[in-house]
Chains A and B, each alone.
Chain A
Amino acid sequence: MLVLTRKEGEAIQINDDIEIKVLSIEGDQIKLGIDAPKHVDIHRKEIYQQILQENQLASQLTTDSINLIKNPQKD
């Protein structure tokens, strides 16, 4: 991992088209401004992680689980 030190108002440039700027620092909170092309999806990491985990759970489909949907009343 590349580690950089930045001050308020300073930025990081990634490739030609992504800029991440430190807008403000207050206590333990840092406000970041991110400029990136529209095709780049930006997520809060913990939320992305939740979605990823739920997708993995949801993908564990078997013939049995699909039968459950087809006949939900049978249990």
Chain B
Amino acid sequence: MNIDTVYFGTIEIQKEQIITFENGIPGFQDETEFVLLDLEGNPGFKIMQSTKTTKLAFVLTNPFLIDPNYEFKLDDSSVEQLQIEKGEDVSVWAIVTVQDPFDQSTMNLRAPVVINLQNRYAKQMSLDSTNYHTKHPIKGGEHYASSNT
């Protein structure tokens, strides 16, 4: 199928690439289907593009590349919702709020995106009882991310 994207124009995607957020994400509850697209030139980041709304896309990054000590507990209810069977099937991403200049950009460690790679079910967590917040600086991380992937 073809989808229209913010950045890449119209592209062809396979159905298997779609990740499903059963309940959408906070603020975008009707948006249940996204695809992760690679960003040429900077492998530390991906674009999470809505399949139905051209204008809706997010920048994601691997939070562990920027904060190697990042950790949280996946609660039982999320494990069940996403039908997670094995830890290695879980992929974790942080949503980036891009600023100009770029090194002022932040990532949201309070609400990571968790994807079960087996069935491509996903959800945005809300880590209520952690010290992580919604605006962690990514400064420095983009170079680290680029040189390590």
Contacts and interface: CB of A to CB of B under 8 A. Distances in A.
Contact of B26 (A38, A52, A57, A65): A52
10 contacts: A39-B23, A51-B26, A55-B27, A58-B98, A61-B7, A63-B6, A65-B98, A69-B45, A69-B102, A71-B41
Contact-residue bracket for chain B = 35 or more
A3 interface: no
Contacts of B42: 69-70, 72
B47 A75 contact: no
A50 interface: yes
A56 interface: yes
B19 interface: no
Contacts of B135: 54
A16 interface: no
Nearest to A56: B27
Interface in B116-147: 123-124, 126, 128, 133-135, 142-143
Nearest to B80: A38
Interface residues of A, number: 29
A38 B96 CA distance: 28
Nearest to A74: B102
Contacts of A51: 26-27, 108, 110-111, 124, 126, 134
B59 A43 contact: no
A62 interface: yes
Contact of A69 (B110, B111, B142): B142
B9 to A, nearest CB: 10
A54 B111 CA distance: 9
A38 to B, nearest CB: 4
Contact of B126 (A43, A53, A63): A43
A41 B123 CA distance: 10
Given A56-B27, A61-B58, A70 B41 contact: yes
B26 A58 contact: no
A72 B61 CA distance: 14
Interface in A3-45: 38-39, 41, 43-44
